Amino acid sequence: MNESDISEDGINVPAGIKRRRIMSSSSESSDGNFDYDTELSDIENRDGEEVDQVGPSNSIVSKEWLPQNAERPPFPFTAHPGKTFDTPPKILPLFYLEKFLDEELTKLITKQTNLYAAQFFDNDPELKPRSRIRKWKDTNEAEMKTFLGLLILQGIIGNPALEIYFSRRRIIETPFFYETISESRFGLLCKFLHFADNLSFDPNTSNKKTYRIDPIINNLSKKFKNFYVCEREICVDESLLLWKGNLSWKQYISTKRARFGMKLFILSESQSGYVQNIILYTGKGTNYGSNYPQEKQSTRIVLELTHDLLNKGYRIYLDNFYTSIHLAELLCQNNTDIVGTMKINRVGIPSEIKTKELQKNEHIVRFKDKLMVLKWKDKKDVLMLSSIHNDEKTMIEKKGRRQEKPNVVLDYNKNMGGVDLGDGVMVAYTVARNRLKKFYKKMFLRLIDMCCFNAYIIYKKDKGHLDRLHFLIECVEKLVDNNIVKAQPKTSTSSSTQKPSRLVERHFPEQMKTDTGKTKSKKCRVCYKKGVRKESTYWCPDCKVALCINNCFKIYHTEIEF
């Protein structure tokens, strides 16, 4: 990406990444807006999930919808946005990242990685005599932090294959990697990286599909919620992590960049994209939480993600998969406002809203207590639900065209793109590599991306001056320097005391003989190095190599390359 836009909060947004907008057709409209109804994913979860659902007996559905309304002020916002921890006088990027990648997390990863390696060897694998796996030694927390730093650095540099990071070829070499850790050791850490004890799995208490990554998700989810309080405007949406391997709960969402992958339901701050809470979708066995077991899927997702933010006056923006009158009622009962697009066949929508035929730019609206349902005709019908707006419109001008749009639509366009904003920023220097054999390792790398992104958001809120690229570079540099002593540069070989003994000591050739006294021959070391197949009956008894008596003996004991 060569260009980037700067949002109001100072976050670099890669070129081409736009916040989701509403329009009236499935393709981009002439005024540049985007279709509000393009987030349909798999049939099970996005096609009529809560259509014709039945609300509780005291539901707002049973009351009468009116064409006019009284004042409906927003709920008072009582939260205190911003970070929840103190910072030192000097702002250091690593301080913010280590709030998420802290001692607790590194101890967990270190312990489980060593345990997994021990269990691997206890199974008595049939290893080749020279297998690199035999060189495994238990890791420690300092090495694990260094390893995590190098993973982040891989996302910045972005080489196509792992071995290129450790290559010594001058045209592609990256000395920082092989000066910090050997390629063999790095590969072993990648192989045995683990987060949960396989032998302690309990099907009654753990999700069979995600128990290997659940400890990391639980650890980081708490930190995401505890270390930062979001601004009033928040949004819930889906994120898709590319995965094309075999996975029973792999999803297809045509409107996402990856299209195939693992789906996450994410609660984000609308303007910055800060990831506040996550739920990993795994099909029927998805762990949605335990607070709202009686609710249907789409309603339950929103309530579980926002559970800790209810009764504080937050304003939640949703697309038409989640929005329903039943959900809006529940949120309003908990002093939380809602703005979202809605499907026309949701239960409780007034019949006149459903049947009314509108001309271009016309609208129809109905009110009931705190809720408003508005249908507006652009190129097609757009149905909105809001607990704070009325049917007022604003004249806007875009690309030389003037058009009146409802304020609820403009507000939705402004605040619905938090999750897409975060995805767009993270993809620039993503840690998650495309070719991984274990899904839980790739999900772990995506979680590292989220840690780096959230740390950067808080850093910028604290008036940090670095852009995201240099923020990450600074974090990696300090993380590695604080946890490992780099290998010293190779010393010069100009001094005779640093040369091999074959170059500084006296050597004499001898003829090779068998035990019976017969002359024998072997391949000449120098000739073999040059690609010439030639045998000699002479050798250097000190160096234990066969050498031609004419020139090869002299070359071997005077030139360093042999």
Chain segment 110-122, per-residue pLDDT in tens: 999 999 999 998 8
Confidence category of residue 50, pLDDT binned at 50, 70, 90: very low
> Which position has the token pair 């990993």?
280
Q: What is the pLDDT of residues 501-546, one digit of tens each?
A: 667 778 889 998 887 888 889 889 888 888 788 899 998 988 888 9
d(CA 108, CA 104): 6
Span between the terminal Cα atoms of the chain, in Å: 47
pLDDT of residue 486: 41
Q: What is the pLDDT of residues 159-195, one digit of tens each?
A: 888 889 999 888 998 999 998 999 999 999 999 999 9
The DSSP bridge partners found for residue 318 are 340
- pTM of the complete model: 0.76
Average pLDDT over residues 198-211: 84
pLDDT of residue 158: 87
d(CA 87, CA 93): 11
pLDDT of residue 43: 31
Which residues lie below 8 Å from residue 518, measured CB to CB, with a gap of 6+? none
pLDDT of residue 48: 38
Q: What is the pLDDT of residues 239-293, one digit of tens each?
A: 999 988 888 888 888 888 778 899 999 999 999 999 999 999 998 888 898 899 9
Q: What's the Cα-to-Cα distance from 454 to each of 7, 8, 11, 275, 423, rounded to whole Å?
A: 16, 17, 11, 7, 12
Average pLDDT over residues 325-334: 95
Average pLDDT over residues 445-463: 95
Find the Cα–Cα–Cα–Cα dihedral 507, 511, 515, 517, rounded to 10°: -140
Helix (H) or strand (E) holding 341: strand 337-341
Find the Cα–Cα–Cα–Cα dihedral 351, 386, 320, 283, rounded to 10°: -120
pLDDT of residue 561: 66
> Which residue, 349, 341, 297, is CA-closest to 317?
341
Residue 26 has pLDDT above 70, yes or no: no
Residue 7 has pLDDT above 80, yes or no: no
> Which residue, 101, 8, 140, 157, is CA-closest to 479?
101
Residue 10 has pLDDT above 70, yes or no: no
pLDDT of residue 501: 63
d(CA 137, CA 478): 25
Average pLDDT, the chain: 84
Helices 439-461, 141-157: axis angle to 10 degrees equals 80
- The amino acid at 275: V
Q: What is the pLDDT of residues 305-328, one digit of tens each?
A: 999 999 999 999 999 999 999 999
